[in-house]
Amino acid sequence: MPVAVYRFARDLRLDDHAGLSAAASHGDVLPVLIIDRDLEKRLRSSTRRAAFYCGAVAALDGALRERGSALVVRRGEPAGILGSLVREAGASAVAWSASYDGAGAADDAELQAALEESGTRATAVHDSPAIPPEESTAARSSGGEGYKAFAPYYEVWRELEPGSYEAPLLLSFARSDVPNEPLPQPKEFGSADVPDASSARAREKLDAFLRGPALQYSIALNVPADDRTSHLSADLTFGTIAARTIVRETRRRLDDPFLLSEERASLRLFQRSIAMRDFFLQLAWYNPRTSDETLQEKMREFPFADSHPQLEAWREGRTGYPIVDAGVRQLHATGWMHPRVRAIAASFLCFDLNVDWRVGMAEWERYLSEDDPALAVGNWQWIAGVGADLAAYPRIYNPRKQERRFDPAGLYARRWIAELAHAPGGGFGAVRSATAQIQLPLGDAQEYPRPVVDHDRAARDFLKRYQEFVTPAAGRRSNR
């Protein structure tokens, strides 16, 4: 029987797997995991990310062993390793899941060229998005590649059906005696604990979410104290569950005739969040340079700063704005931050402190369990007003108004900010000023800091700089 090598990366599961299906079309699949320098660097940057990854790899290897196979683990440069494995196993083809960030896509192209030059069929497969970029592009009514605005993309996306791929029991895995290396362990990357990051656990989380919390998603998405979002970001990032599976199961849940209208609206909003993920992936796929430069040409020379006197306060969660600080401290403690608060905290960095979005992205990479550079770039550029958000002006979040609207009693802030855990009364964020501090009960050694900047003044100053920058830029473009 012919053999095909499949290289696992951010797709650590066996079910509903486009890449495995592609490899299986060429023969029995030899499952391979390569830990290269770039992956090692990203795992070392976040101990929680490393722990999740190692847990997912261990679960994948266990699932393969149940089918009479096992992961072939190697450490080093992918092209050389895969070339050697092709010769050792007598394989005729190699497949892997495509990357979407600029650097990853360039590496894919180089790897494919090297393998094909040696006479091996090589294929990078779209497994990460529910709808591959080419499928949404093919449905465009106008020409061009990809979408730069979400609204028209979503109109097309929601009418498309995700593909479905062979179940793992129908796949045939090769038994090989090629030399192997140990599975990656958390201690290699400075981590310790190994969570249950199996595909079975991811599916359990999805099923539990769709049974109940998803029906209130429209509330949970905006109220950070209501911690009932799906918490599937790390699972999606490392592929322990397919985005296709999530979309199909969500649409199946929408078929329930007994759902209330607000429950249907919540499910559609959750489905829209998966579409937004696909949107950013296709955006990076067709615009690979966004890893290094902004999508909006007019903003590529905007004078964002690399630092600010209060940058460390933002990094430490001590800005004096509870909803910002609670989010940062939640990230430090858990490797995750509530979606609404991510936008508020990122907005504060970019607009209140005028700091470049890349500084914030690099900072959060040190703590997040999830790991997808293309999504990180898309989301950060969107918030910073330099990406696919085509609003006339940047969307500047007012942290005080956000507190009053989404954490009026300070429940979220109290949970994550120790200095505020026993502060008297509720809604403290609404009455604070740039010169006031929250006073704690006698005997508490810590004081919560006063706001490090005046938000209203900072927002006005940023908008003034923005207007002065874009107006002459528009004039320069019109004179070309």
- Interval 324-351 mean pLDDT: 98
Contact yes or no for 335/43 (Cβ under 8 A): no
Confidence (pLDDT) at 427 = 45
Backbone phi, then psi, for 87, in 5-degree steps? Answer: -70, -45
- On the question of pLDDT at 7 being above 80, the answer is yes
Calpha distance 200→178 (Å, rounded) = 29
- Top pLDDT among 81 and 431 is at 81
pLDDT band at 170 (very low <50, low <70, confident <90, very high): confident
Confidence (pLDDT) at 460 = 97
Contact yes or no for 317/132 (Cβ under 8 A): no
Confidence (pLDDT) at 9 = 97
pLDDT band at 143 (very low <50, low <70, confident <90, very high): low
Which stretch of DSSP H or E encloses residue 30? strand 28-35
- Return the percentage of the chain with pLDDT > 70, whole number: 92
Q: Which amino acid is at 469?
A: F
Token code pair at residue 227: 């911690």
- Interval 445-469 mean pLDDT: 93
Q: Any idea what DSSP says for residue 66?
A: T
- On the question of pLDDT at 435 being above 70, the answer is no
pLDDT band at 391 (very low <50, low <70, confident <90, very high): confident
Strand partners, 97: 125
Calpha distance 356→406 (Å, rounded) = 26
Largest pairwise CA distance in the chain: 77
- Of the candidates 38, 99, 136, 341, the one whose C-alpha atom is nearest the C-alpha of residue 239 is 99
pLDDT band at 471 (very low <50, low <70, confident <90, very high): confident
Confidence (pLDDT) at 292 = 87
- Interval 66-87 mean pLDDT: 97
Calpha distance 429→438 (Å, rounded) = 9
- On the question of pLDDT at 425 being above 70, the answer is no
- Top pLDDT among 439 and 402 is at 402
- On the question of pLDDT at 159 being above 60, the answer is yes
Q: Mean pLDDT across the chain, nearest whole number?
A: 92
Confidence (pLDDT) at 442 = 37
Candidate from 46-50, 256-260, 326-330, 469-473 with smallest mean pLDDT: 469-473
Q: Which amino acid is at 264?
A: R
Confidence (pLDDT) at 445 = 41
Confidence (pLDDT) at 168 = 64
Q: Any idea what DSSP says for residue 410?
A: -
Contact yes or no for 12/152 (Cβ under 8 A): no
Confidence (pLDDT) at 227 = 87
Calpha distance 427→412 (Å, rounded) = 11
- Top pLDDT among 175 and 330 is at 330
Contact yes or no for 69/22 (Cβ under 8 A): no
Contact yes or no for 465/303 (Cβ under 8 A): yes
Candidate from 7-16, 387-396, 433-442 with smallest mean pLDDT: 433-442
* Exposed / middle / buried, residue 332 (Cβ in 10 Å: 0-12, 13-18, 19+): middle
pLDDT digits over 263-308, tens only?
999 999 999 999 999 999 999 999 999 988 999 999 999 999 999 9
Rg (CA), the chain: 24
Report the 10 Å Cβ neighbour count for 150.
Answer: 19
Confidence (pLDDT) at 478 = 39
- On the question of pLDDT at 439 being above 60, the answer is no
Strand partners, 29: 4, 173
Strand partners, 34: 74
Candidate from 218-222, 226-230, 250-254, 476-480 with smallest mean pLDDT: 476-480
pLDDT band at 141 (very low <50, low <70, confident <90, very high): low
Token code pair at residue 162: 């995700």
